[in-house]
Structure 1
Amino acid sequence: METKIFKKDQLDEAVSLLAKGELVAFPTETVYGLGAIATKEKSVKGVYAAKGRPSDNPLIVTVSDENMMRKYAKEVPERAEKLIKHFWPGPLTILLYVKPGTLPEAVTGGLDTVAFRCPDDKLTHDLIKKLGYPIVGPSANTSTKPSPTTAEHVYHDLKGKISGIIDGGETRVGLESTIIDLSVDQPIVLRPGEITPEELSEVLGEKVLINTGKVSDSSIPKAPGMKYRHYAPSAPVVVVDHPEDFAKINFNDSMGVMALKDELAKINLPEKNKFNLGENLIDADHNLFGGLRYFDDKTGINQIFVQGFDQGEESLAYMNRLNKAAGGHHFNK
């Protein structure tokens, strides 16, 4: 299968492919998503096959606006309306009860809930509006690998497996959206992202919890990123919680390191073994997946040491993704 790269003036070709049941990757402000019409079960199953994604991992439904979401949500509570007014379009995904019979089991995982997202990206808005249907939007990468933040990342993983990729340039945020569950009595963040629980609490006027539990092997997760290993390059990743601990590591040419610019300058390794996460945590959020992919493409790298952060809710999303990439392995010496 040929995988075509579409520019913004070729959107109609991408719409045509999706309408025929084909798979097309699309940009968002967070990471690139893999699109298929959410109401077409055969197309949705093709997403699982292309990614190598476990079939009990439900998918996010990407909509162009609140009106489209209302066609598939059983009800839209006042809480949801507050968050939509404040954060949509943007990097917030909202879990609600699904209207029975509107979406295939391949989307919901057989649950009575589904997650909705309205991304802040004009290309994707135009794509969905022209199509007239919502699309599923898991990250457009091979399952377990770092999420893609450029069209080139998507092409690397899915070339020959999908029909097209809409090139919208590098993503702005670099980490997937925050997922909040509004199907329960007290709102709970199932996956941290750029929008923090504190920001959500301020808008809702009530405390928002943070999920810390692990989904059992026999259970179906309510949202992506809760059960399976994610974001991992081929070489094992080690989290370095304290910057001063980099000095305790006996680095050699088979090791890679990802850290902020100032910390990186102190480490005696060839430049090709280093990846600059930037000046601060916001930069690190944006660059984390790019760094993991950088070393995934390097031969001879057998271990990757990555700077961790402890900055409260601001570092929740970064540490969530990094801990998953590292399988919970932290440097301790």
Structure 2
Amino acid sequence: MNYFQQEVEAAVDALLMQLVILYPSDTVWGIGCDAEVPRAVEKVHKLKQRPGEKGCIILVADEAMFARYAEQVPDNLGQLLAEQQRPTTYVVKGSRLVAPNLLAADGTIGLRVVRGDEFTHKVVRRLGHGLVSTSANISGQPTPAIYKEIDPAIVRGVDHVVNWRQDDEKRSEPSRIVRVLANGSLELLRD
């Protein structure tokens, strides 16, 4: 087994044990856990010092996993995914399978199909559940673009730190966020 695969397996093992991980996502470094485990989600909220009603993004592997966590899947989801030029998070009503403390106050969640990042995609695929993805910072502080900018309190506070792309100096940005409206059109929330 090569080093890449060892890091994927270690991350998945931690997630299956309902632990919180620090990992390189398809955008920025993130704090994550299984999206169906309320206890782990609570630990993420405490670590970020963030109110639970704010909601979090859930990374999914494909359209089928998207449908698992969305109360209603947009009819044009395949087209939306095919047209996206960069990582895009879709805000939709969350299903009953989502840990209740992941939902925003209005019952929505953000779902993002991971496409451009092999590591994150493999972790989500192997886990078989959605992966919470929230930036690796204390709430209100700047989002770290690279690993070495992550607050040491975050590094110490998680249960497992992925040792992949830590030396990467490529500066990343958070995803674009859009709300899916009832008619299937999109409302831009963050570009």
Partner of 1:177: 175
How far off its partner does 1:155 sit? 5.7
Deviation at 1:54, TM superposition (A): 1.8
Compared with structure 1, are the counterparts of its residues 91 and 155 closer, same or farther at alpha carbon in structure 2 (3 Å cutoff)? same
Structure-1 residue corresponding to 2:101: 106
Question: Paired residue for 1:187?
Answer: 186
CA RMSD of aligned residues (A): 2.1
- 1:290-301 residue pairs with structure 2 within 5 A? none
Give yes or no for the alignment of 1:130 onto 2:129. Answer: no
Distance in 1, matches of 2:67 and 2:170, equals 28
Give the CA deviation at 1:72: 1.5
CA shift digits 1:20-58 (9 cap, x unpaired): 111112212421111110000000011001111122211
1:116 match:
111
TM-aligned CA deviation for residue 171 of structure 1: 7.0
8 Å CA contact retained: 1:31, 1:171: no
The TM-score with structure 2 as length reference comes to 0.86
Matched-pair contact (CA < 8 Å) for 1:32–1:149: yes
Within the candidate set 84, 87, 93, 1:91 is matched to 87
| Equivalent of residue 80 in structure 1, options 77, 81, 96 | 77
Segments of 4+ in structure 1 off by > 4 A? none
What percent identity do the matched residue pairs reach? 24
Amino acid at match of 1:23: V
Paired residue secondary structure (1:114): strand
Where relative contact order (Cα < 8 A, 6+ residues apart) is larger, the structure is 2
Superposed counterparts of 1:147-186, under 5 Å:
147-154=143-150, 156-166=152-162, 167-169=164-166, 170=168, 174-185=172-183, 186=185
How far is the alpha carbon of 1:16 from its aligned partner? Answer: 1.0
Distance 1:156 1:94, change over 3 A: same
Question: How many residue pairs end up in the alignment?
Answer: 184
User: Which of 40, 62, 70 lines up with 1:65 in the alignment?
Assistant: 62
Higher radius of gyration, 1 or 2: 1
Q: 1:171 to 1:129 in 2, by over 3 A?
A: farther
Map 1:7-46 to 2 at 5 A. 8=4, 9-46=6-43
* Alignment check: 8 A CA contact 1:25 1:35 kept: yes
> How many angstroms apart in 1 are the aligned matches of 2:140 and 2:121?
27
Greater strand share, 1 or 2? 2
1:139 aligned residue (135, 146, 149): 135
CA distance in 2 between partners of 1:112 and 1:44 (Å): 16
Alpha-carbon distance between aligned partners in 2 of 1:62 and 1:171, rounded to the nearest angstrom: 23
Matched residue, 1:294: none
Which secondary structure state, in structure 2, belongs to the residue aligned with residue 37 of structure 1?
Answer: coil
Can you list the C-alpha shifts for 1:145-195, whole angstroms capped at 9, x where unaligned? Answer: 111222223363412200222232437562211111113455211111xxx
CA distance in 1, matches of 2:144, 2:161: 12
Deviation, 1:12, is 1.2
For residues 40 and 111 of structure 1, the distance between their equivalents in structure 2, rounded to whole angstroms, comes to 20
- The answer on whether the counterparts of 1:151 and 1:165 sit within 8 Å (CA) in structure 2 is no
Shift of 1:93: 0.5
- Give the secondary-structure state (helix, strand or coil) at the position aligned to 2:69: coil
- CA distance in 2 between counterparts of 1:172 and 1:30 reads 11
Gaps of 5+ in 2: none
CA–CA distance in 1 between the matches of 2:94 and 2:152?
34
Question: What TM-score does the superposition give when structure 1 sets the normalisation length?
Answer: 0.51
3-state secondary structure, aligned to 2:181: coil
Task: Please identify, of 162-171 and 40-49, the stretch whose mean Cα deviation from structure 2 is larger.
Answer: 162-171
